């Protein structure tokens, strides 16, 4: 395990050096360090080379362009209902607890590995969830309209990112890593021990129920709107830009299944789009029908 932390610390140093590299400002050559063959410091050698080096699948740039047009030409007016809790209510106290817990988990991870995990979707989603909890706790003390709007704006992005992390990791990636990439009983045992650490359980499993409580149960049946959906797609767009135009160029391949060089890239990207939309419809169905609040109304009433 210590060896893994050392590797992550080295990766943090390499990523930090690359992000300060002026080569990122130039479109050519695409790979900042071609001698690494698309694997920064050899850290991602396990990813097939055809997913790290070479031209993108011909439809991938078209998809990115269409996504960009979708984001900027379909932007709705940002008008969201306030979801701030009342002072010292259960939702307010829960926001404080979730904020401290979120910061504690981030400190546990970053103190061991350095800043490298901050570029992962998992840690970004955990950070959004933690920051929204902080705003929900702060706003009743300082009712500033901008902060209230920001808190409401992050409500669905926090929920959907936690949903994607929970579903993709526990039902797709973790089973693949355990079944196909962990060769032998010893490797399987190491992966199981790594995956069941305190902080790993938080960011991959407990993140979902925390997000449900923070973004659904404590918000008094406030439905999600097309504005919430657009904001979540915008946050996803920002991460896609980071992943495709910075991480890909310096040789960081956190999610090979989403490589723009794969002929299945557009399909996998559309799958994420669909998961976002399905999450939006599912939780509106749950909120509108009060299927959860009927059980916990006495606990979460303000």
pLDDT tens digits, 194-242: 999 999 999 999 999 999 999 998 887 889 999 999 999 999 999 999 9
Highest mean pLDDT among 84-88, 171-175, 188-192, 273-277: 273-277
Nearest to 224 by CA among 144, 269, 159, 168: 159
Q: Confirm whether 126 is domain-assigned.
A: yes
Residue 8 has pLDDT above 90, yes or no: no
Tokens at residue 121, please?
């979707």
User: pLDDT tens, 12-43?
Assistant: 545 555 555 556 666 677 888 888 888 998 88
User: pLDDT tens, 56-69?
Assistant: 999 999 999 999 99
Q: Confirm whether 26 is domain-assigned.
A: no
Cis peptide before 141 (omega within 30 of 0): no
Residue pair 5/113 in contact (Cβ under 8 Å)? The answer is: yes
pLDDT band at 6 (very low <50, low <70, confident <90, very high): very low
Q: Confirm whether 214 is domain-assigned.
A: yes
Q: Confirm whether 25 is domain-assigned.
A: no
Q: Confirm whether 268 is domain-assigned.
A: yes
Of residues 175 and 290, more confidence is placed in 175
pLDDT of residue 11: 54
The span from the CA of 125 to the CA of 159, in Å, is 9
- Please give the full DSSP string across 6-75, using - where no structure is assigned: HHHHHHHHHHHHHHT-GGGGS-SSSSS-GGGTTSGGGTTTTS-GGGTSSPPPTTHHHHHHHHHHHHHHSP
pLDDT of residue 205: 96
Tokens at residue 164, please?
């994607």
78-110 as b/e: b if 16+ CB within 10 A: eebeebbbeeeebbbebbeebbeebeebbeebe
Mean residue pLDDT across the chain: 88
Residue pair 39/52 in contact (Cβ under 8 Å)? The answer is: yes
Residue 3 has pLDDT above 50, yes or no: no
The span from the CA of 44 to the CA of 237, in Å, is 24
Q: Confirm whether 285 is domain-assigned.
A: yes
User: pLDDT tens, 234-268?
Assistant: 999 999 999 999 999 999 999 888 999 999 999 99
User: pLDDT tens, 71-105?
Assistant: 999 999 988 988 899 999 999 999 999 999 999 99
Tokens at residue 86, please?
């009342």
Q: For residue 94, give its domain range.
A: 2-20+31-300
Nearest to 220 by CA among 296, 138, 139, 133: 296
Q: Confirm whether 69 is domain-assigned.
A: yes
Q: How many distinct structural domains can be found in the chain?
A: 1
CB atoms within 10 A of CB 252: 24
């Amino acid at each position: 395990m210590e060896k893994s932390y050392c590797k992550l610390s080295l990766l943090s140093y390499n990523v930090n050096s690359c992000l300060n590299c002026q080569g990122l400002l130039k479109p050519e050559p695409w790979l900042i360090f071609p001698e690494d063959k698309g694997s920064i410091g050899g850290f991602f050698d396990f990813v097939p080379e055809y997913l790290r080096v070479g031209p993108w699948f011909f439809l991938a740039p078209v998809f990115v362009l269409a996504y960009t047009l979708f984001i900027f030409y379909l932007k709705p007016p940002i008008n969201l209902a306030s979801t701030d809790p009342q002072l010292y209510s259960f939702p307010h106290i829960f926001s404080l607890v979730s904020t401290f817990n979120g910061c504690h988990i981030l400190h546990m991870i970053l103190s061991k590995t350095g800043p490298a995990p901050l570029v992962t979707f998992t840690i970004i989603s955990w950070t959004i969830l933690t920051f929204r909890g902080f705003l929900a706790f702060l706003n009743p003390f300082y009712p500033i309209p901008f902060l209230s709007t920001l808190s409401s704006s992050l409500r669905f992005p926090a929920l959907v990112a936690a949903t994607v992390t929970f579903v993709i990791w526990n039902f797709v990636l973790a089973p693949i890593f355990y079944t196909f990439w962990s060769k032998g009983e010893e490797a399987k045992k190491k992966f199981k021990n790594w995956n069941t650490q305190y902080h790993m359980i938080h960011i991959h499993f407990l993140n979902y129920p925390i997000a449900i409580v923070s973004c659904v149960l404590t918000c008094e049946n406030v439905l999600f709107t097309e504005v919430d959906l657009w904001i979540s797609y915008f946050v996803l767009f920002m991460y896609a830009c980071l992943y495709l135009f910075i991480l890909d160029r310096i040789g960081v391949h956190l999610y090979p299944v989403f490589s723009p060089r794969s002929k299945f890239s557009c399909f996998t990207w559309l799958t994420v789009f669909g998961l976002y939309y399905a999450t939006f419809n599912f939780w509106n169905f749950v909120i509108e029908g009060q299927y959860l609040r009927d059980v916990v109304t006495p606990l979460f009433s303000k």
